[in-house]
């Protein structure tokens, strides 16, 4: 049986919407940590500790019951009192915590000792109102002023932080059989328990954003969270999603957890026409609106749910840049990178208001629009987003191609802008073979592939809406880019595609995983695909746990770095889809097996944002990189990329057709999908290995609408 691997300092995270409670495993937050209650990019609570007559409670165990509800158990040390000592481990304290708008906390204490227990229960509660960027960097700058008031009558402690027109705050209401008091940064309860007696208190924390909005804590106790609106929404999400059945328990749990993670990471956005669901990128640091991440997650999810596709197209279209603003790397038609709501963003001390420093989100918006249309068949979807798409196309021509050479390049203009604007956006992520960093405008290989996919997809869309001239123009641009890219990025002597062209248009011949995205986009001629696959599956790139971001032979290789040798599940998922697109089904299955096998070792089969690029023979289990976000949206969504690769799923809802080209490997001999939606139709489909072929049976739905293409088995 696989082990649950926990790397780094253990933590307990629950969240809902834009509130994230990051605590130690006992639910407490100790001083000088990165933990606490984060709300809209501000740390509302920075210390949360329980004491009995100044004695710290001892943790037993704790865990999250759902993404919005946790429970922890603690016991007492020896507690000196005026009536004698309370024996250690005779009191059991249960902490329940539930986020639903605000936060409801329950404290239950049972006296299992033989004598009476009389003591003061103190909650030490501190707020620093640090901006999320300051929490991460451990560099807090005091700007505004805090005020705290206690109302004996209402049993409420209110702490507010103001800096000019920026305000955050919280109000904690204490409810217990005997009134609480507050002094010296503590809320104190008098507890008096006979043997076998129980004591209960509720703490209701309302969250304040400016002077106008307050998120109210649930009035019911945490045990009632299972009947809450959040629980109902998760159940509805699961009911609407495509369900998977398979005898392979490993892949089943990987997929099932991914559905749950993405349900948990929904970030509702209020629009004029209702609520749109966006995926938060990951926890604890990325419960915010992102461009690239949301678009890739939505693309991963199209066979499972279209909710994120609709949400991303709507919300990112709302935030599309309309003018140039160099301080935020904004240009007309560009899709945002990241929006933050904390104090630093409010006062423009960081550019995330939003920040537009991404070169790939704009073409990926068009790729998603095409994919969503292929799954819905709705002309209304195209009409709804066509103006946004046209602005994206203009940006690609007029801003993405900075020097007019036909390729997409990027370089920040913002004083605090990002050096790198591809998905590998770490400052050291783009380097020459000798390890020196590439500076100046960079033309990453995958950016050209994304634009190629965007133009070919838009050609189909223009044909569908009767704009044949525009369709022909898109096809011509795509063909020209295909030829130019394969002429200038390919290096025959090196045997592969350059990672990028530098500012002097010289090839950067560094072995990276990015070239796998070229297969995903379709910009590679068939005769070269095998050499791309062979390089990615060579030992210096494929570790056995997945494909590394950077070759192990490179001078900057570091298996626990962010982008220079680690393994990213979403990256591997897109690469596997690219392998399958070009017929390399056995290799796609190897990558899928590697990542789903890694998932089996992590707690709850919950794949992190990234893990170490150590060789399988060196690390018999995957090694998590400290600081990696878990759950993380596109890491979870990799399960759906692998499903698409293994089953060869291709939607054509405009023509009422679902195409499958399955090549199930021996380790995944059977898959059943239920409630998979194509336009207005719904299908249940069973796929299984039968000797030398993969067979398909349509269990529910129009069998004539499912076209099965012959493929070789994946080994």
Number of H helices, E strands in the chain: 15, 36
Q: Is residue 701 part of a domain?
A: no
Q: Is pTM, for the whole model, over 0.85?
A: yes
Angle, vertex CA 89, rays to CA 88 and CA 94, nearest 5? 135
Q: How far is CA 431 from the centre of its chain?
A: 26
Please identify every stretch of the chain with a pLDDT value under 70, giving residue numbers as ranges.
1-3, 6-9, 712-715
Is residue 112 within 8 A of residue 120, CB to CB? The reply is: no
296 shares a domain with 360: yes
Q: Which residues are within 8 A (CB) of 231 and not within 5 positions of it... i.e. 6 or more apart?
A: 66, 225
Residues 423, 503, single domain; the answer is: yes
- Co-location of 221 and 252 in the same domain: no
Please, is 407 exposed, middle or buried when counting C-beta atoms within 10 Å of its C-beta (0-12, 13-18, 19+)?
buried
Do 306 and 162 share a domain, yes or no?
no
612 and 601 Cβ atoms separated by less than 8 Å: no
715 domain residue, yes or no: no
What pLDDT does residue 10 have? 82
What integer pLDDT is reported at residue 715 of this predicted model?
53
Digit-coded pLDDT (tens) for 81-110: 998 999 999 999 999 999 999 999 999 999
- Of 210, 230, 250, the residue that ends a domain is 230
Q: Are residues 214 and 257 in the same domain?
A: no
Q: Which of 184, 202, 230 is the last residue of a domain?
A: 230
Report if residue 713 sits inside a domain: no
* Bond before 225 cis per omega within 30 degrees: no
Cα–Cα distances in angstroms (integers) from residue 122 to residues 110, 177, 473, 565, in the given order: 16, 15, 71, 47
224 and 259 within one domain: no
Eight-state DSSP code of residue 69:
E
Same domain for 161 and 257: no
Structurally, the chain folds into a number of domains equal to 2
Question: How many Cα neighbours within 13 Å face the side chain of 158?
Answer: 10
For residue 154, what is the domain's CATH number? 2.70.98.40
Q: How far is CA 138 from the centre of its chain?
A: 23
Alpha-carbon distance of 136 to 512, in angstroms, equals: 28
Q: Three-state SS string across 199-218, please?
A: EEEEEEEEEEECCCEEECCC
Residue located via tokens 């990028």? 500
Q: Is the dihedral of CA 665, 668, 672, 674 positive or negative?
A: negative
Distance CA 46, CA 33 (A): 8
Domain co-membership, 63 together with 178: yes
Q: How many residues does the chain have?
A: 715
Token pair recorded at residue 543: 């570790």
Q: Which residues have a Cβ under 8 Å from the Cβ of 698 and sit 6 or more positions away?
A: 683, 684, 685, 706
- Which residue among 175, 200, 230 closes a domain? 230
Question: Is 705 a member of any domain?
Answer: no
Instruction: Please name which of 176, 202, 208 lies closest in space to residue 102, comparing C-alpha atoms.
Output: 208
List, in sequence order, every residue forming a beta bridge with 72; answer none if it has no partner.
62, 95
Q: Is residue 688 part of a domain?
A: no
- Do 438 and 307 share a structural domain? yes
Q: Could you tell me if 565 and 549 are in contact, meaning their C-beta atoms sit under 8 angstroms apart? A: yes
d(CA 645, CA 660): 10
Same domain, 27 and 102: yes
β-strands 693-700, 166-176 pairing? unpaired
| Whether residue 196 is found in the same domain as residue 339 | no
Say if 680 falls within a structural domain.
no
Q: What is the CATH number of the domain that holds 461?
A: 1.50.10.10
CB hemisphere CA count around 489 (13 angstroms): 31
Residues 364, 442 within the same domain: yes
Listed residue (108, 100, 111, 118) closest to 50, CA to CA: 108
The Cα 183–Cα 214 span in angstroms is 25
Q: Would 209 be classed as within a structural domain?
A: yes
Show the domain range for 160: 12-230
Asked whether 277 and 289 are in contact (CB, 8 A), the reply is no
- What DSSP character marks residue 400? I
In a domain, 292, yes or no: yes
């Amino acid at each position: 049986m696989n082990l649950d691997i926990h790397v780094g300092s253990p933590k307990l995270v629950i969240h809902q919407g834009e509130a994230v409670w990051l605590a130690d495993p006992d639910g407490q937050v100790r001083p000088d940590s990165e933990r606490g209650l984060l709300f809209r990019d501000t740390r509302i609570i920075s210390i949360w500790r329980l004491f009995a007559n100044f004695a710290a409670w001892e943790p037993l165990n704790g865990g999250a019951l759902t993404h919005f509800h946790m429970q922890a158990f603690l016991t007492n040390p020896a507690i000196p009192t005026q009536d004698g000592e309370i024996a250690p481990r005779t009191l059991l304290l249960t902490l329940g915590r539930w986020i639903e708008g605000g936060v409801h906390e329950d404290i239950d204490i049972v006296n299992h000792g033989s004598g009476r227990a009389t003591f003061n229960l103190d909650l030490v509660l501190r707020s620093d109102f640090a901006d999320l960027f300051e929490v991460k960097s451990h560099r807090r700058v005091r700007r505004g002023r805090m005020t705290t008031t206690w109302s004996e009558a209402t049993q409420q402690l209110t702490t507010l932080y103001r800096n000019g027109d920026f305000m955050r705050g919280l109000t904690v209401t204490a409810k217990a059989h005997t009134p609480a008091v507050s002094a010296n940064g503590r809320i104190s309860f008098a507890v008096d328990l006979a043997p076998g007696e129980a004591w209960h208190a509720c703490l209701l924390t309302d969250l304040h954003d400016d002077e106008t909005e307050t998120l109210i804590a649930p009035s019911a106790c945490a045990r009632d969270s299972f009947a809450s609106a959040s629980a109902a929404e998760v159940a509805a999400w699961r009911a609407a999603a495509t369900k998977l059945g398979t005898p392979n328990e490993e892949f089943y749990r990987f997929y099932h957890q991914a559905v749950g993670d993405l349900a948990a990471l929904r970030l509702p956005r209020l629009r004029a026409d209702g609520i749109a669901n966006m995926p938060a990128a990951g926890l604890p640091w990325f419960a915010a609106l992102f461009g690239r991440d949301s678009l890739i997650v939505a693309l991963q999810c199209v066979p499972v749910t279209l909710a994120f596709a609709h949400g991303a197209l709507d919300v990112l279209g709302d935030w599309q840049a309309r003018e140039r603003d160099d301080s935020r790397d904004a240009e007309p038609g560009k899709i945002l990178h990241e929006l933050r709501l904390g104090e630093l963003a409010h006062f423009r001390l960081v550019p995330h208001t939003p920040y537009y420093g991404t070169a790939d989100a704009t073409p990926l918006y068009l790729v998603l629009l095409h994919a969503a249309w292929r799954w819905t068949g709705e002309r209304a979807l195209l009409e709804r987003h066509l103006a946004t798409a046209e602005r994206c196309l203009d940006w690609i021509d007029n801003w993405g191609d900075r020097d007019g050479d036909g390729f997409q390049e990027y370089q920040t203009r913002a004083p605090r802008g990002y050096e790198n604007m591809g998905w590998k956006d770490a400052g050291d992520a783009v380097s020459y073979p000798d390890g020196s960093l590439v500076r100046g405008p960079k033309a990453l290989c995958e950016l050209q592939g994304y634009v190629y996919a965007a133009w070919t997809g838009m050609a189909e869309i223009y044909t569908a809406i009767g704009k044949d001239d525009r369709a022909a123009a898109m096809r011509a641009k795509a063909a020209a880019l295909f030829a130019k890219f394969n002429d200038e990025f390919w290096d025959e002597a090196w045997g592969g595609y350059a990672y990028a062209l530098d500012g002097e248009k010289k090839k950067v011949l560094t072995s990276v995983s990015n070239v796998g995205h070229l297969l995903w986009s379709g910009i590679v001629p068939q005769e070269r695909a095998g050499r791309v696959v062979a390089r990615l599956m060579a030992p210096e790139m494929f570790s056995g746990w997945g494909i590394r971001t950077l070759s192990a032979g490179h001078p900057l290789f570091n298996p626990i770095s962010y982008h220079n040798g680690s393994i990213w599940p979403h990256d591997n998922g897109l690469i596997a889809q690219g392998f399958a697109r070009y017929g390399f089904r056995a290799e796609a299955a190897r990558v899928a097996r590697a990542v789903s096998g890694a998932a089996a070792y992590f707690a709850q089969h919950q794949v992190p944002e990234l893990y170490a690029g150590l060789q399988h023979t060196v690390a018999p289990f995957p090694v998590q990189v400290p600081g990696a976000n878990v759950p993380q949206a596109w890491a979870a969504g990799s399960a759906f990329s692998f499903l698409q690769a293994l089953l060869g799923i291709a939607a054509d809802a405009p023509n009422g057709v679902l195409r499958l080209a399955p090549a199930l490997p021996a380790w995944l001999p059977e898959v059943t999908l239920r409630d998979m939606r194509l336009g207005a139709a719904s299908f249940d489909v069973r796929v299984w290995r039968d000797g030398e072929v993969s067979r398909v049976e349509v269990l529910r739905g129009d069998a004539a609408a499912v076209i099965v293409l012959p493929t070789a088995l994946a080994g």
